[in-house]
Amino acid sequence: MTKTLMLAEIANAIGGELRGDRAKQISGAASLAEATPDEISFFYHPRYLSQLRRTAAAAVIVPSDFAEEIGAATIRVSEPAKAFEEVVLRFAPPPVQWAPGIHPTAVIDPSAVLAADVSIQPHAVIEAGTRIGDGSVIGAGSYIGHDVVIGRNCMVYPGVTIRERCRLGARVILHSGAVIGADGFGFEMTSEGQRKVPQIGIVQIDDDVEIGANTTIDRARFGRTWVQQGAKIDNLVQVAHNVIIGKHTVIAAQTGIAGSVRIGQRVMIGGQAGIIGHIEISDGTMIGAQTGVSKNLDGGVWWATPSVPLKEAKVHLAWVRRLGELFERVKRLEGKGE
């Protein structure tokens, strides 16, 4: 049965000022472009004004100072995006619950130590010496290597690999396809070709870290590759050996971080950024999408390849876009001189 809420109920729940039919029944939430006449949406930035004017939504959550006249009912709040998130959760299905227990197809070494209420899903493999804390879930087909430690209330989704001796804190989330603790990319050229340099360190992931699908975090050559508390890493990110990622740093998809990089706290790294090895990025630094970082960065906002301060990068981009006009002017001037 479809869940419905009256507009008045929604407005009260998010503390908003309703202008429209209080008794209107709302059955869901969607974007401005996709909302149907029985759904609610939200508007928070002028760039979406054209979508707002065309939306079929029955109601729209808007900023407190919203003055546009639209056909839909409005609910005025100080933070539309945050309020809309609350509404979405009211219409969402209940979260999946993982019942404690061990599936009969799971393969668990007798020396592994599992808390009483862990959930081990079908075909998971847990090697010798592993310890898994209270409330943690190991998804179907995941591999947990020898002497791994996993803290309390972790969520390891299906198809994750955690290699030997790696350490996870509490409330860590690993999405499907993540590989934690593969060998770092270490080789030395010899007279007989490339020789593999032993990678004998670990990966340590602290409390409240979330790591996206198909992201790879390599073990250290020695010591540890370290993802500190609260860091969030998107899908398809490569973190090389001996990297340190500071607390509450955010890294977007397809970023590549070479070995022994030190990234500070609350750093923001945009998608497809590339960072060469053995450099340091200070606390609070912001790195734009597709930026190539080849030197230490000490705060500020950086963009382009090689990375330069954002203001400077914008000037360079403007110059490049004017080159065609400049060439034509030069041609004309040269023609006059003949």
So which residues are the catalytic ones? 241
Q: Which residues contact 299 (CB under 8 A, 6 or more apart)?
A: 282, 283, 284, 285
Tokens 């503390």, located at residue: 15
Rounded Cα–Cα distance for residues 46 and 52 (Å): 9
Tokens of 32: 């401005």
Rounded Cα–Cα distance for residues 30 and 143 (Å): 37
Closest to 44 (Cα-Cα) out of 32, 30, 27: 32
Contact 259, 273 (CB under 8 A): no
Q: How far is CA 288 from the centre of its chain?
A: 15
**CA within 13 Å, CB half, 106:** 24
Q: Which residues contact 140 (CB under 8 A, 6 or more apart)?
A: 103, 121, 122, 123, 124, 158, 159
